[in-house]
Amino acid sequence: QVQLQESGPGLVKPSDTLSLTCTVSGASINGYYWSWIRQPPGKGLEWIGYVYYSGSTHYNPSLASRVTISVDTSKNQFSLKLSSVTAADTAVYYCGRGSPTPGNWGQGTLVTVSS
Amino acid sequence: EVVMTQSPATLSVSPGERATLSCRASQNINGNLAWYHHKPGQAPRLLISGASTRASGIPARFSVSGSGTEFTLTISSLQSEDFAIYYCQQYNNWPPTFGQGTKVEIK
């Protein structure tokens, strides 16, 4: 059974870089697309982007200037970096297997941007 | 960006009854629509993609109809585990976009 687990700091200061990792168990990173999606408090889901196991990426244009998604096949993990964060980036961040319709999701991790 | 609008925001239904959820796209999405089930604090779960293809393990009481810009998710007989928030998502245009969700609550 595929399981995904997001990890990273729950609190990030404004203008810093948000960094999250998604650890995949029960399946190999190889051969799949891996996605990041977020949900600000009280708002809807927002697609951030995806990475293919080969390393190719595709980002939401609204975030593309600040986002980097990468994959580490040796660790069976993939990661999200979002630079120059503001309070508007406060959200529950989810990782998922597959794009554009992830069939498996992590439970999500809340990241708060505050000084 | 394609805007997805779901209605109603909240649907109160008794167990065993039918639930009908609507999703409207701001432009034709050629059937490239998915539905997800989400209980807060848990991982969202893919129910249906390609407008009508149920994901693995999803029971037949979940069905989708519609085309173009108007779609409906029907749950034929609500079970206790079905009370949750449901999101529709279009993936015909980049970026994929989601509706605001419909909360199905126990009446």
| Residue A31 pLDDT greater than 70, yes or no | yes
Provide the CB-side half-sphere exposure for B88 (13 A, CA).
35
A33-92 tens-digit pLDDT: 999 999 999 999 999 999 999 999 999 999 999 999 999 999 999 999 999 999 999 999
> What's the full length of chain A, in residues?
115
Q: Which of B46, B64, B85 to mutate to test the interface with A (most CBs of A within 10 A)?
A: B46
How far does the CA of residue A106 sit from the closest CA of chain B (Å)?
A: 5
- Report residue B40's pLDDT band, with 50, 70 and 90 as the boundaries: confident
> DSSP label at B30?
T
Q: Which residues contact B53 (CB under 8 A, 6 or more apart)?
A: none
Q: Which of A4, A5, A45, A59 to mutate to test the interface with B (most CBs of B within 10 A)?
A: A45
Among B residues 10-69, those touching chain A with beta carbons less than 8 Å apart: 34, 41-46, 49, 55-56
Asked whether the beta carbons of residue A47 and residue B98 sit closer than 8 angstroms, the reply is: yes
B7-27 tens-digit pLDDT: 999 999 999 999 999 999 999
DSSP letter for each residue of A7-66? ES-SEE-TTS-EEEEEEEESS-STT-EEEEEEE-TTS--EEEEEEETTS-EEE-TTTTTT
Asked whether the beta carbons of residue A105 and residue B98 sit closer than 8 angstroms, the reply is: no
Among A residues 87-106, those touching chain B with beta carbons less than 8 Å apart: 94, 100-106
B47 token code pair:
């129910």
Tell me which chain A residues have a C-beta less than 8 angstroms from the C-beta of B40: none
B44-91 tens-digit pLDDT: 999 999 868 999 999 999 999 999 999 999 999 999 999 999 999 999
